[in-house]
Structure 1
Amino acid sequence: MTAQTLILYALACVAIAATPGPTMLLALSNGMLGGMRRAAWGIAGACLGSATVIAVVALGLGSLLAASHWLFEGLRVAGVLYLAWLGLRMWRAPTPDLRTALARTPQDDAQRGLALLRSLAVALSNPKAVFFFAAFLPQFVDVRQSQVPQYALLGGIFIGIDLLLMLAYAGAGTQAVRWMSQRSLRWLNRGCGGGMWLLAGVLALGRRPGT
């Protein structure tokens, strides 16, 4: 794998990761509701989910999902329902407040754990992600060399870029609490909820690749 290949791959990852998705919206919402502490746990869950999906692709298990209609549809329905539920939670969430977002409360540990699990579930419940990585990563793999280290390197680069962008979204959420009015914050969080519903609709209407 050449340096030129890695640079091209990194640029492609930036373009892909910059597109707002469910984990980005969760990072923004977590930043508003719980500050960078809660957002960091959610980001960790999203990174763990991406690493798991990439490992599945590297092991060749993506072909099993491609071959099984029922497995794909079951995972897709679960993903749609989960994104719709998250959208509802965001829509109904209380208006963020600077003092509660930055102060430590007894419920912090539980909320951070929930943030991690929600982001992990989002990353794992989208079968399109498996197909995407299965189609995207092999284009940059040199079949003449050992493939596992290459997948590990490519996966690490993608996750690193995704991590930086999620941190930026979370940071934007914490700054929004400082500078925006309570009414504006409420509608910004509802906008994140609406984005989740939109993504759920896209996943619901999408078809399995190759059909």
Structure 2
Amino acid sequence: MDSMTLLLYVVAASSAATITPGPTMLLALNNGATHGMRVAAYGIAGAALSDLILITAVGCGLGAILQASEYLFSMVKWVGAIYLLYLAWALWRAPAKLSPLAQSNAASDGRSAFWRSLLVALSNPKGLLFFSAFLPQFIHPQSDVAIQYITLAVLTALIDITLMGVYAMGGHHAMKVLSGQALKWLHRGCAGMLAGLAVALSLYRRNTGS
């Protein structure tokens, strides 16, 4: 894989992630605002791990299986949509003030943030189908395919870490100057967007190629 291909991939992947931020970006923003950068880092790590898992799955052919199986696709889709709705409900009901015990619970909150981000990404079939359609355009069959998938997986994780770090830091610094009422509306704004993503996911259909 040459340097020009890698550069094109970085530009394309960065543009796609920036133009269409997903639920893990919203979680990074909310974690940074409500729990601080340490907890947000756990969530970012979970999302980055999901990139590695999903791209490995694509390299092993799971994306093609998901595309071919209506039952498997529907099952994963509805699990993802229900989980997003659950997260939206939890954020909507979240307290409008930061708990004084937040710092002491940082490790526990961090683990929760890690698993939330990981499960959100893995339960969304759109991610697997996107990688299945997107990644092969940058793969050279005459070279070692496994090494190329590993390279793209690491690059994707680094891109997402960078962008989610920006979201988390933006939320963290914004809450330093905003009121508790603003925190309430941040929770509800993120909840509304997660619910919207859940509805969009429930309506998502496979591209059958017909």
TM-score by length of 1: 0.94
SS at 2:36's partner residue? helix
SS at 2:140's partner residue? coil
**More displaced 10-residue stretch of structure 1: 25-34 or 88-97:** 88-97
- Distance between the aligned counterparts of 1:151 and 1:95, measured in 2? 43
Unaligned runs of 5+ in 1: none
Deviation at 1:129, TM superposition (A): 0.8
SS at 1:145's partner residue? coil
User: In the alignment, which residue of structure 2 is the partner of 1:88?
Assistant: 89
- Distance between the aligned counterparts of 2:192 and 2:4, measured in 1? 39
User: In the alignment, which residue of structure 2 is the partner of 1:70?
Assistant: 71
- Distance between the aligned counterparts of 2:57 and 2:202, measured in 1? 23
Deviation at 1:108, TM superposition (A): 2.3
- Distance between the aligned counterparts of 1:159 and 1:96, measured in 2? 32
- Distance between the aligned counterparts of 2:97 and 2:160, measured in 1? 25
Deviation at 1:155, TM superposition (A): 1.3
User: In the alignment, which residue of structure 2 is the partner of 1:118?
Assistant: 116
- Distance between the aligned counterparts of 1:204 and 1:96, measured in 2? 32
- Confirm or deny that 1:24 pairs with 2:22: no
Cα RMSD between the aligned structures?
Answer: 1.4
User: In the alignment, which residue of structure 2 is the partner of 1:127?
Assistant: 125
- Confirm or deny that 1:5 pairs with 2:1: no
Identity %: 45
Deviation at 1:2, TM superposition (A): 2.0
User: In the alignment, which residue of structure 2 is the partner of 1:194?
Assistant: 192
Q: CA deviation digits over 1:19-54, x for unaligned, max 9?
A: 321000000111112101110011111111111010
Q: Aligned AA for 1:25?
A: L
- Distance between the aligned counterparts of 1:104 and 1:186, measured in 2? 19
Deviation at 1:104, TM superposition (A): 2.1
User: Which runs of structure 1 show a deviation greater than 6 angstroms over 4 or more consecutive aligned residues?
Assistant: none
Unaligned runs of 5+ in 2: none
Deviation at 1:119, TM superposition (A): 0.4
User: In the alignment, which residue of structure 1 is the partner of 2:80?
Assistant: 79
